[in-house]
């Protein structure tokens, strides 16, 4: 099962989404996006918890 995440589930107004082969690959992509687009060098725990709750299997 691939994993999918849509940023708008956590950050309203952001249209970015991604699909990855597993959760670690997904988090890698999310952290790159968060760094470049949302200026988060590290993702705060509360955001990470929200992200985890929004990950879908596709």
Closer residue to Zn ion, CB minimum distance, 7 or 51: 7
Does 16 help bind Zn ion (rule: CB under 5 A)? yes
Which of 15, 24 has the CB closer to Zn ion? Answer: 15
> Contact between 14 and Zn ion (CB under 5 A)?
yes
By beta-carbon proximity to Zn ion, the closer residue of 39 and 58 is 39
If you write DSSP's letter for every residue of 7-58 in order, what string do you get? GGGTSTT---EEEESSHHHHHHHHHHHHHHHH--SS--HHHHHHHHHH-EE-
Q: Does 7 participate in binding Zn ion (rule CB under 5 A)?
A: yes
């Amino acid at each position: 099962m691939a994993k999918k995440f849509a940023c708008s589930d956590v950050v309203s107004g952001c249209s970015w989404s991604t699909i990855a082969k597993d959760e670690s690959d997904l988090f890698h992509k999310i952290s790159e996006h968060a760094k470049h687009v949302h200026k988060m060098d590290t993702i705060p725990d509360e955001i990470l918890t929200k992200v985890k709750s929004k990950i879908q299997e596709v």
